[in-house]
Amino acid sequence: MGEHFRVNGGARLTGEVEVVGAKNSVLKLMAAALLAEGTTTLTNCPEILDVPLMADVLRSLGCEVEVDGACVRITSPAMPLAEADYRSVSRLRASVCVLGPLVARCRRAVVPLPGGDAIGSRPLDMHANGLRKLGASTEISHGRVVAHAADLHGAQIWLDFPSVGATENILMAAVLAEGTTIIDNAAREPEIVDLCRMLQQMGAKIEGSGSSTLTVHGVSTLQPTDHRVIGDRIVGATWAFAAVMTRGEVTVRGVDPHHLDLVLDKLRSAGAHTSTWVDGFSVAMHGRPGAVDFVTLPYPGFATDLQPMAIALSAVADGTSMITENVFEARFRFVDEMVRIGADARTDGHHAVVRGVDRLSSAPVWASDIRAGAGLVLAGLCADGVTEVWDVEHIDRGYPRFVENLRSLGADIARVDAEPSR
């Protein structure tokens, strides 16, 4: 059955934790290395499974990739191969972000439809429409996205929704297109700002980074660069929720607290005390957290990736919370696992109503995706007895040293290789 985590609830988390680079940034930055011949070096990379998986995708495209702890070196050839290996790509959702760079460099891309989390349908229509506007024909055939472009030219592109992945793919194609591209209703996530910063260091001409209108003046070539990956705000926020739920006191270093302005405000509404500085913050909670409502939205709204933490917090809060999911429709599926562990939670379409209970009751539970897994562990920290969380390879895909970090904060958690007890 593989590994699981055994969480013995009841500990109050205290201490300091260091957060490294963001998963949702590093994978795109690795893809961006395809845009320039030569060696790009990324530092502060998280040591998570998705990084070597992405390295395999890039190797299948002709790159040399060296993963050395937190440092990833990618040497991109004069002309990358246009066809990504089916097995590597289908194991990793984020690998679809090689589409834009390949179209830009090779004028051709064949990218298998990606795999990834079970959080709802993840179509690629906005990626394809944007690339089409830039002059690439795209079609889906035999489980692969196939794109061709004689020339890439600037265009005005309006996204139906500020999709993170579509913004990134279109951006990475537009930097090498001829003329000016305007992406309207672009995503504004800090990870996109990080990508813009790296592309600018490579010689790209981008205006409006961090706003919903990105203007890209295409250039003919880019140069490789060295870049430090931004800290993972989702991981940092996970530790903040853990502190509040366990009535603890935690200092988080390595994250820009402005990326968590709304999150920290929500935690203050729940009764927490916070303080922030340039690259970190601390959260302290005395007594039981109060109930707060959460609505997920694209950045700067409350991140959908933190919705499971919001459910977990609401499950032990004093009062009733309403959580509204606006980004991934199937993301509430994991709530059944929360109920297994004693949460009084009901979902109806986009909404979940959670009535907080004083104490959750331990049970074996299954993680369906990275963030659901983290939310279940947080709930286990507040449950009576020992909670087993299974399918933890999902958590390992997004959280470097997850168990070690929690243990350093005083949690009673261990990674175990054994059969489930039911």
Catalytic residue among 56, 68, 85, 117: 117
Q: How far is residue 155's CA from residue 115's CA, in Å, rounded to a whole number?
A: 30
Alpha helix stretches (DSSP H) within 33-138: 50-59, 86-90, 99-106, 125-133
Q: Per rule CB under 6 A, is residue 125 in the interface with ligand UD1?
A: yes
Contact status, residue 64 vs residue 74, Cβ threshold 8 Å: yes
Q: Per rule CB under 6 A, is residue 122 in the interface with ligand UD1?
A: yes
Per-residue burial over 238-258, b = 16 or more CB atoms within 10 Å of its CB, e = otherwise: bbbbbbbbbbbbbbbebbbbe
Tell me 258's DSSP state. Answer: G
Q: How far is residue 113's CA from residue 271's CA, in Å, rounded to a whole number?
A: 44
N residues, the chain? 422
Contacting residue, 157, 164, 199, 216, with ligand UD1 by CB under 6 A: 164
Q: How far is residue 211's CA from residue 227's CA, in Å, rounded to a whole number?
A: 22
Any idea which residue has 């933190």 for tokens? 306
Token readout for 401 is: 């040293």
Q: Per rule CB under 6 A, is residue 368 in the interface with ligand UD1?
A: no
Token readout for 366 is: 């299954």
Q: Give 322's strand partners.
A: 353
Q: How far is the CB of 177 from ligand UD1 (least distance, A)?
A: 19
Q: How far is the CB of 51 from ligand UD1 (least distance, A)?
A: 12
H/E stretch holding 268: helix 261-269
Q: Per rule CB under 6 A, is residue 123 in the interface with ligand UD1?
A: yes
Total residues interacting with ligand UD1, rule: CB under 6 A: 20
Contacting residue, 79, 161, 279, 420, with ligand UD1 by CB under 6 A: 161
Stretch that binds ligand UD1, among 116-124, 269-277, 372-380, 411-419 (CB under 6 A): 116-124
Q: How far is the CB of 188 from ligand UD1 (least distance, A)?
A: 11
Q: How far is the CB of 162 from ligand UD1 (least distance, A)?
A: 7
Q: Per rule CB under 6 A, is residue 61 in the interface with ligand UD1?
A: no
Contacting residue, 9, 11, 13, 24, with ligand UD1 by CB under 6 A: 24
Q: How far is the CB of 161 from ligand UD1 (least distance, A)?
A: 5
Q: How far is residue 196's CA from residue 206's CA, in Å, rounded to a whole number?
A: 7
Tell me the residue ranges of DSSP E strands in 262-373: 273-277, 280-284, 294-295, 320-324, 344-348, 351-355, 360-361, 364-366
Considering beta carbons, is residue 194 or 388 the nearer one to ligand UD1? Answer: 194
Q: How far is the CB of 104 from ligand UD1 (least distance, A)?
A: 18
Stretch that binds ligand UD1, among 66-74, 99-107, 122-130, 201-209 (CB under 6 A): 122-130
Contact status, residue 77 vs residue 37, Cβ threshold 8 Å: yes
Token readout for 74 is: 């990618």
Q: How far is residue 216's CA from residue 189's CA, in Å, rounded to a whole number?
A: 17
Considering beta carbons, is residue 28 or 340 the nearer one to ligand UD1? Answer: 28
**344 annotated active-site:** no
Stretch that binds ligand UD1, among 121-129, 135-143, 245-253, 257-265 (CB under 6 A): 121-129
Q: Per rule CB under 6 A, is residue 166 in the interface with ligand UD1?
A: yes
Site string for ligand UD1, 177-206 (x = CB under 6 A): ----------x-------------------
Site string for ligand UD1, 223-262 (x = CB under 6 A): ----------------------------------------
Residue 106 makes CB contacts below 8 A (sequence gap 6+) with 79, 80, 81, 82
Considering beta carbons, is residue 369 or 391 the nearer one to ligand UD1? Answer: 369
Q: How far is the CB of 173 from ligand UD1 (least distance, A)?
A: 14
Residue 225 makes CB contacts below 8 A (sequence gap 6+) with 36, 40, 41, 198, 201, 202
Token readout for 100 is: 């834009």
Site string for ligand UD1, 327-356 (x = CB under 6 A): xx----------------------------
Contact status, residue 293 vs residue 323, Cβ threshold 8 Å: yes
Positions in the binding site for ligand UD1 (CB under 6 A):
24, 27, 94, 121-127, 161, 163-166, 187, 304-305, 327-328
Active site residues: 117
